[in-house]
Amino acid sequence: MTSDLDSEKWVPLVEFSVQKGISLSTLRRYIKSNKIPWKLLEGRYLVMDDGTFTAPRTHELRSPANPPIESAPAEQEIRVRELQTALNAAHEEIAELKTLLAFYEEKWAQLSKK
């Protein structure tokens, strides 16, 4: 017989981040403020993936099937700022992933020397 705790799916931060499309820094803020269930196991943070979490969207991109309507210059400036913000967030996430990759490569090198 399995308990409810056994059926819970706990996943590492990176995996959750990729699956849900949320940056690691935002995920860490959610953990710090207890917005999502988490636990620390053997020095690793894990978050519960029960399928109910959806990342809040700060912007929506238009699909080719739904092209933008001609808008006023002020609206276009707002859209440009939104896209720049999204681009900056993507750059931040890429930098975090590069840091994480370097960390794992260093650990791998250390383990392979043993």
Mean pLDDT score of the chain, rounded to an integer? 80
Please state, for a pLDDT cut of 70, what percent of the chain lies above it. 79
For residues 7 and 57, give the distance between their C-alpha atoms in angstroms, rounded to a whole number: 29
Q: What's the gap between Cα 97 and its chain centre?
A: 10
Mind listing the pLDDT tens digit for each residue in 49-72?
Answer: 888 877 665 444 444 555 555 567
**pLDDT band, residue 97 (cuts 50/70/90):** very high
Residue 27 CB contacts under 8 Å (≥ 6 apart), including other chains: 13, 16, 17, 36, 47
Mind listing the pLDDT tens digit for each residue in 32-54?
Answer: 998 889 999 888 999 998 888 77
